[in-house]
Amino acid sequence: MGITNSPISYALAGGFFQFFNFFSSNIRLNRTEEINLSFTQTFSSNWTLKFLFDHCTFKPLGDFTFAYSTSITNPGETPMLKSIFTNSQIGFEARWAYKEIMISRGHDRFRVEQSKLPVLIFSYQRGLKDLGGSDFEYDKLNLIVSHHMNTSWAGTADWYVYTGKIFGPLPYPLLDVARGNESMIYSDYNYSLMNNYEFISDVFIHSSYTQHFEGVLFNHIPLKNKLKLRNFAVLKAAYGTISNTNLRVNSIVDSEGNRTSPIYNFRNYEPYFELGYGIENIFKIASIGMVHRLNYLNLPNTRKIGINLGLNLQF
């Protein structure tokens, strides 16, 4: 979709949503060839450490016009505008989940009991310039805090906070691109009414809080309590900043003088907010909800209200 995977994608999310969002109107088609290697070691019932190596080549396709200035990312080289890049990085991810119980089957691990406290995931990536033709040298720090908790009479809640900082000049597909959603399919880790590429940052924070009311309302309605329907409400927020250096890296025209696809950033220290609510546990797997965008309503092609459909498939 014109953006690279983020630690939140690897650590928490799946690929089901990405398939449907591929058909959005603002897709930025590209050819990305990746090599991903990882080694995971569990040291105790609480700690897991993962070592990572990623190598990719990126090329925009079709109507997706993109260019970055090598005079900023590679000041020692001949200045030019490039649309294709190669990137190699190494990193590690440390995960702490207090008294979480997992079972292993082959290469897969399945959670059978949630952590008693918020789960912490810290990751670091280092860009390796010249390795395999890599174009960039940078550092990325990320922290994810997530939790599933009991909220007494109100039911249960799921929340996460994902924050990070990127050191070094990079083209925007390697920065933090807030995950928009131009489909009706709901994703916990995307913003339902945010358009793709609305917000680009190199210092960022994303958060989500979902309250599952279980049977608080429907259990008191005759007949409907037999359907075991459940209510939920969700609040999501995002904020970030981008340095002047990274603004200059990403050119407004490509090497042939064509105007590049636009990118945006947060303004006036104002976070993005959206609020949703609906019904879940429909036939035990489906949900339907309404979502409202609370601000940034004057941007182009803004959607103020929408409907989400969700599936929760567990095997």
Instruction: Report the relative pairing of strands 176-177 and 119-127 from DSSP bridges.
Output: unpaired
pLDDT at res. 8: 62
For the chain, the domains span 7-311
**Residue 84: count of CB within 10 angstroms of its CB:** 14
The encoded tokens of residue 183 equal 């489909």
Instruction: Report the relative pairing of strands 108-113 and 203-212 from DSSP bridges.
Output: unpaired
pTM of the entire structure?
0.88
Number of helices and strands in the chain (H, E): 4, 17
Distance, in Å, from the CA atom of 295 to the CA atom of 274, rounded to the nearest integer, reads 8
Residue segments in the chain with a per-residue pLDDT below the cut of 70: 1-26, 104-110, 112, 223-225, 313-315
pLDDT at res. 54: 97
| Exposed / middle / buried, residue 186 (Cβ in 10 Å: 0-12, 13-18, 19+) | buried
3-state secondary structure of 299: coil
pLDDT at res. 75: 82
pLDDT at res. 212: 94
The class level of CATH for 7-311 reads mainly beta
Q: Cite the beta strand spans of 47-100 per DSSP E.
A: 47-60, 68-69, 81-82, 85-96
pLDDT at res. 227: 77
Distance, in Å, from the CA atom of 132 to the CA atom of 76, rounded to the nearest integer, reads 19
